[in-house]
Structure 1
Amino acid sequence: MPVLSVVIPFLNESGSAARLADFLRRLEAEIGSRFGLSLETVLVDDGSHDDSIDAYRRHLTGNWKIAELSRNFGKEIALFAGLEQTSGDYVMMIDADLQHPYGVCMQLIEELVGNPALDVVYTVRDDRRQESLKKDLGSRLFYWLINFQQRYRVPENAGDFRIMRRRVRDALLTVRDKRRFNKGLYAWTGFRQKGIPYTPDERIGSASRWSRLALIGLSVEGITSFSVIPLRIFSIMGAMTGVFGLLYGLKILLEVLFHGIDVPGYPSLMVAVAVFGGFNLALLGLIGEYLWVGVSEAKNRPLYILRDIHTPDREETRQ
């Protein structure tokens, strides 16, 4: 019987445990009757400080396991850890806060199972138009940077909510980047992919942990991992500034030689120092970001450390 593995990372989500367990029981019953699939549930505890694990152990039924990480490694790494624990023919990734609608989950499964030509079906949030103009422009600039002159395209507003065949899961596990940006990795691996729009449901349990600062950090991670355009932009700006400086110096020299005009003094000097100093500091900071990515990869530390694996068999032993 083909198996659908569902990977669910969580952090302090004890409040949604009962609802998620009901969600999974409903999913297991329907995929069995409609598609002839059995369900494997893989949850990943990304360093929770509450009783989330105990809550899930009390409510989960069927074939499940909880991979407990030794600390918080971030959602990108937690998803990778979950993928390594799966054994299914298909793998779907959802969030523990139940923002991913049940109907869309069924649509993802139906699209992939019903079309052997597809390898991945991903979702695209279609509620981004409600965001501010500033955030929308920032998002468009970000995707332009990472997609410019690439041989693959990272879809805008596509996330981790997706389903894939096992061969795609195996391909993703061969990519051992320490500084991971999953949206870029999904696109980089290729395969035949299809996107479907969706609107997330209201969040259950804890509030979102994605602050504006965290989103900026993730964006920097994506740019430094998948684009060299910022370095090239600064290189072009530096070359243009140098040419303009040379022309301005030549202008001053000609004015002194032929017209006897005094050379501008302190104000022009300070402007030049400020402009060039600002460019240099910005470029050094950008180079530092790229160097930090290289240093992180060169250390070759493990992506994560497991503290424990919880399974139904161990629960029976405890009892």
Structure 2
Amino acid sequence: MELISIIVPCYNEQEVLPLFYDEITKTMNKMRTDNPGLDFELLFINDGSKDSTLKLLRELSAKDECVRYISFSRNFGKEAGMFAGLENANGDYVVIMDADLQHPPEYIPEMYDYVKNKGYDCATTRRVNRKGESKIRSWFARKFYKIMNKISQTEIVDGAQDYRFMSRQMVDSILSMKEYNRFSKGIFSWVGFNTKYIEYENVERAAGTTAWSFWKLFLYSLDGITAFSTVPLALASILGIISCLISFIMIIFIIIKTLAFGEDVQGYPTIICAIFFIGGLQLFCMGILGQYLSKTYLESKRRPIYIVKETEKTPRNKYEEN
């Protein structure tokens, strides 16, 4: 028997969870019929949901033996959810997908075929458009991928998603990277392996609302830049050199202007401009250094990436009153 583990991070997914379970069950049953030696486990990661997501997961695990769940003690973020799923998956193959049905389950058989029969270690989807997103959000997303691919040695494919079907070897390689500050899009590319990209049209959520605001995505993009590139540090050094050259040229210009033409130096405006220019440049460079220093500080604490409060194996009397 070959086992496929399907990891589903969940945060406030009570509206879409029943729809997802129905759709993924159809896909699993079809694959079992087409491949008699195939079995599945559904591993849901409840990332500190504040709605009825955990209650629904308890009910699903009680009626379906292939359903497992891990519930965090609080919200640790999707990156922690994906890592927890990979760390606790038992399958020969592992799938990561969202519960909102923006990752259509009907692609799993095709992914399985690429990894099982066509020599790929990973099959993933790549959006060919950003239908349903705002123009500003789409513009920033495209720019992020362009910047990342220019300043990082790790190529991140524009439109590639976390929806992935991976071999056990690739999963073990990802798990060997224990870093606290995780940026999975970069990690998936960094570990290498032969990856097949399946293009598809963007799909909107089946129900509920996304937890990813523009601000959260912006901060996530900064995590990606600092995790897989040191170019910003080099940029700080270059800006420092340029500012020194500009200052040196200005000094020479003022000396020549005063000695050759006898013109008085405009003191107040010149000083104010210089203060604002140098001060802003210093704060910018300090901000870059601070970003890298903060990541180093968090890594040095060696805190766990997530904390488990409950699983499907937890005795029922411990949560019956909740």
TM over 0.5: yes
What does residue range 91-106 of structure 1 map to in structure 2 within 5 Å? 91-106=94-109
Q: Which residue of 2 aligns with 1:112?
A: 115
Q: Out of 264, 267, 270, which is 1:268 matched to? A: 270
Q: Which residue of 1 aligns with 2:81?
A: 78
Q: Structure 2 CA distance, aligned partners of 1:55 and 1:139?
A: 33
Q: Structure 1 CA distance, aligned partners of 2:139 and 2:208?
A: 29
1:134–1:237 CA distance, 2 compared to 1 (3 A): farther
What amino acid maps onto 2:101 in structure 1? Answer: L
Alpha-carbon deviation of 1:99? 1.6
What does residue range 48-59 of structure 1 map to in structure 2 within 5 Å? 48-59=49-60
Q: Structure 2 CA distance, aligned partners of 1:63 and 1:167?
A: 23
Equivalent pairs counted in the alignment come to 317
Q: Structure 1 CA distance, aligned partners of 2:302 and 2:57?
A: 33
* 1:14 and 1:205 in contact (8 A); partners too: no
Q: Structure 2 CA distance, aligned partners of 1:27 and 1:139?
A: 31
Between the two proteins, what is the percent identity of the paired residues? 32
2:16 is equivalent to residue 4 of structure 1: no
Residue-by-residue CA offset, 1:175-210 (whole Å, 9 max, x unaligned): 111111110111111111121112243313320011
Residue-by-residue CA offset, 1:261-313 (whole Å, 9 max, x unaligned): 111211111111111111111111121111110001000011111111115x9
Q: Which residue of 2 aligns with 1:224?
A: 226
Residue-by-residue CA offset, 1:29-52 (whole Å, 9 max, x unaligned): 111122331111111110012221
Q: Structure 2 CA distance, aligned partners of 1:22 and 1:163?
A: 20
* 1:121 and 1:196 in contact (8 A); partners too: yes
1:270–1:260 CA distance, 2 compared to 1 (3 A): same
Alpha-carbon deviation of 1:129? 6.9
| 3-state SS of paired residue (1:207) | coil
What amino acid maps onto 1:203 in structure 2? Answer: R
What amino acid maps onto 1:98 in structure 2? Answer: L
Q: Structure 2 CA distance, aligned partners of 1:16 and 1:210?
A: 16
Q: Structure 2 CA distance, aligned partners of 1:273 and 1:129?
A: 46
2:307 is equivalent to residue 297 of structure 1: no
Q: Which residue of 1 aligns with 2:45?
A: 44
| 3-state SS of paired residue (2:91) | coil
| 3-state SS of paired residue (2:16) | helix
TM-score, normalized by length of structure 2? Answer: 0.91
Q: Structure 2 CA distance, aligned partners of 1:56 and 1:18?
A: 10
* 1:124 and 1:197 in contact (8 A); partners too: yes
1:133–1:48 CA distance, 2 compared to 1 (3 A): closer
* 1:9 and 1:95 in contact (8 A); partners too: yes
Q: Structure 2 CA distance, aligned partners of 1:143 and 1:193?
A: 18
* 2:236 and 2:288 in contact (8 A); partners too: no
Alpha-carbon deviation of 1:106? 2.6
* 1:142 and 1:219 in contact (8 A); partners too: yes
Residue-by-residue CA offset, 1:222-273 (whole Å, 9 max, x unaligned): 1111111122223212211211210111011112122211112111111111
Moved more, 236-245 or 134-143: 134-143
What amino acid maps onto 1:48 in structure 2? Answer: S
2:185 is equivalent to residue 201 of structure 1: no
| 3-state SS of paired residue (2:211) | coil
| 3-state SS of paired residue (1:38) | strand
2:31 is equivalent to residue 28 of structure 1: no
2:248 is equivalent to residue 246 of structure 1: yes
1:137–1:23 CA distance, 2 compared to 1 (3 A): closer
Q: Structure 2 CA distance, aligned partners of 1:14 and 1:105?
A: 23
| 3-state SS of paired residue (1:187) | helix
What amino acid maps onto 2:38 in structure 1? Answer: L
1:129–1:244 CA distance, 2 compared to 1 (3 A): farther
1:314–1:2 CA distance, 2 compared to 1 (3 A): farther
What amino acid maps onto 2:110 in structure 1? Answer: Q
CA RMSD of aligned residues (A): 2.3
1:136–1:236 CA distance, 2 compared to 1 (3 A): farther
| 3-state SS of paired residue (1:219) | helix
1:149–1:49 CA distance, 2 compared to 1 (3 A): closer
* 2:137 and 2:214 in contact (8 A); partners too: no
